[in-house]
Structures are given as C-alpha cells and as structure tokens.
Amino acid sequence: MRYILLIYGDEEMYGPPVGTPEADALLEEYFALSRALRTAGINEPSDEIDGPATATTVRVRNGELLVSDGPFIESKEQLGGFYIVEADSVDEAAGWAAQIPGARTGGIEIRPLVDYSEGA
C-alpha cells in the first residue's frame, strides 16, 4: 500500500538559517533518508513545500471562483513537505516517518493513498 507522510511543523521552528553548517547538516539528514528509501525500493515522490506565505487558496462558491492569498489556517503547525512510500503496513510507514528529521520538532501525519487503478 502507498502512504503519504505529511511533514508538519511550526514555521518559526523549521530549523537553522539556510547556509549555516547546522542547516546543511539537517538537509543532509533529509537527503540521507531519501537515499535510504530509494535503496529500499519504496520511495516515490518527496519534496519540500514552500512556506504558507506563498500559498494561494482556490474556492468555488455558487459557481464563482474565489482566489485568495494564504492558507488561512489557524494553526501553528503548517504543512512543510511530504514523502510517498510503499509499505506493507501503517507500522512500516511509521518506521520511515520516525526517521524524518521534522518528527523531532513537529509531527508526521500518515495517510494511506486511495488506489483507483484497475482492479483496486
């Protein structure tokens, strides 16, 4: 089964400033996890998502398109990135999620992906 691992964290706690040795070390942890997932043959797309200030929200109400800046979510924790993994169980997916550096300061939400392919 495929799972998406959603990385949530407080934007103010995302980590050390870019370009510092600490930030480089944290980034290398993410790269190492991506390599480990590829080596295990279970990694699919993964990426960092730009900050909430860059978000655009689209809604359609009564046939009218409404586009606004920002996610307007009342939460300190924001979605910052994701991994998609193939795993035999949610427990296996949780094992990978625990290795995501963002799990130390935020939270990783695990959701199964719905399979609409033929025969699913």
What is the tens place of the pLDDT at every residue in 65-81? 988 887 666 667 788 89
What is the tens place of the pLDDT at every residue in 4-36? 999 888 766 556 677 888 888 988 999 999 999
CATH superfamily placement of domain 2-112: Dimeric alpha+beta barrel (3.30.70.1060)
The string of DSSP codes covering the chain is: -EEEEEEEEEGGGS-SPTTSHHHHHHHHHHHHHHHHHHHHT-EEEEEE---GGG-EEEEEETTEEEEEES-----SEEEEEEEEEE-SSHHHHHHHHTTSGGGGTSEEEEEEPP--STT-
Residue 1 reports pLDDT greater than 60: yes
Residue 92 reports pLDDT greater than 90: yes
* Whether this model's pTM surpasses 0.75: yes
Position 3 scores a pLDDT of 92
Domain positions in the chain: 2-112
